[in-house]
């Protein structure tokens, strides 16, 4: 990965941090994106020390807000003229419905709008740097998702947040497939993955029963962040997937995603709806 420039979102913790560290160890220039300025600075120094690579820095942005996603893309382009790998990793689960400062439902904004906007804002520099790769972290939770294009922000029936989460992860898969169809030359590839259930801080933002349950399950069955990051690292760096696009991966192997994810008409409607939401 020497001379490659990589962005990893959500890189201050968990599989994002492990992905950034591994790419730095391979010699890449790594730009993480995190929400907390002091934590981002600390993790940047940690990765530099652990990798022996000084070409690591962080941009600070709340990726649940479209305006800040765009600002991060603009700042990246101000500093760099190449981008070879974009790893869209930042995401979350919210047991209670909440809205961002921009008035968007939090799960949809962070898990889907973030991926869509950042990718589209950076497509020009990815294409100019090709061959380049887009790697989207989804979840096998998408198997239980139902894409409701009439109420993507779950103004009705939010429940404990699991269906909105699964719905957003299905959107990740469908967005990736549609993106791959719109990039037909294969010079910029787009793939999506399930990392496994990882022992990270996923869901720890939730109070009450949901937060306690996720922490308990994590202690019992979750895999390490190092193991959970392996498929992201593989898709970002392996020569085995050069030119491979529009696939869903688990454990570094292409696997079928849910039947609904292959609905091309629904994916096109999702794209148009999202474009209308973000301008």
- Measured distance CA(273)–CA(267) in Å, rounded: 10
- Encode burial over 118-135: b for 16+ CB neighbours within 10 A, e otherwise: bbbbbbebbeebbebbbb
Strand partners, 248: 192, 255
Query: Which position among 158, 165, 177, 248 bears the catalytic label?
Result: 165
Examine the residue annotation and report whether 165 is marked as an active-site residue of this protein. Answer: yes
Half-sphere exposure at residue 101, Cβ-oriented, CA atoms within 13 angstroms: 7
Half-sphere exposure at residue 165, Cβ-oriented, CA atoms within 13 angstroms: 15
C-alpha distances in angstroms, 28 versus 6, 12, 14, 123? 7, 17, 19, 20
Residue 89 CA to its chain's centroid (Å): 3
Both tokens of 246, joined, read 């529009």
- Measured distance CA(79)–CA(95) in Å, rounded: 37
- Active-site residue list: 165
């Amino acid at each position: 990965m020497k001379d490659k420039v990589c962005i990893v979102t959500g890189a201050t913790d968990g599989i994002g941090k492990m992905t950034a560290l591994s790419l730095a160890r391979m010699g890449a220039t790594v730009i993480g994106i995190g929400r907390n300025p002091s934590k981002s600075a600390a993790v940047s120094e940690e990765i530099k020390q652990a990798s022996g690579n000084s070409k690591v820095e962080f941009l600070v942005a709340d990726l649940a807000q479209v305006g800040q996603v765009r600002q991060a893309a603009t700042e990246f382009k101000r500093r760099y003229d190449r981008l070879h790998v974009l790893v869209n990793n930042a995401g979350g689960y919210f047991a209670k419905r909440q809205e961002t400062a921009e008035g968007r439902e939090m799960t949809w904004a962070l898990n889907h709008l973030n991926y869509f906007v950042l990718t589209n804002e950076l497509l020009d520099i990815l294409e100019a740097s090709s061959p380049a790769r887009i790697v989207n972290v989804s979840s096998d939770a998408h198997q239980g998702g139902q894409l409701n294009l009439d109420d993507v922000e779950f103004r009705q029936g939010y429940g404990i947040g699991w269906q909105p989460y699964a719905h957003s992860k299905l959107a990740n898969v469908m967005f990736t497939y549609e993106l791959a169809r719109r990039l037909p030359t294969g010079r910029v590839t787009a793939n999506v993955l399930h990392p496994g259930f990882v022992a990270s801080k996923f869901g720890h933002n939730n109070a009450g029963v949901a937060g306690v349950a996720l922490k308990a399950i994590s202690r019992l069955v979750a895999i390490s962040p190092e193991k959970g990051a392996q498929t992201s690292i593989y898709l970002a760096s392996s020569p085995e997937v050069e030119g491979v696009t529009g696939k869903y991966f688990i454990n570094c192997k292409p696997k079928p995603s849910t039947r609904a994810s292959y609905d091309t008409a629904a994916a096109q409607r999702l794209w148009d709806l999202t474009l209308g939401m973000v301008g």
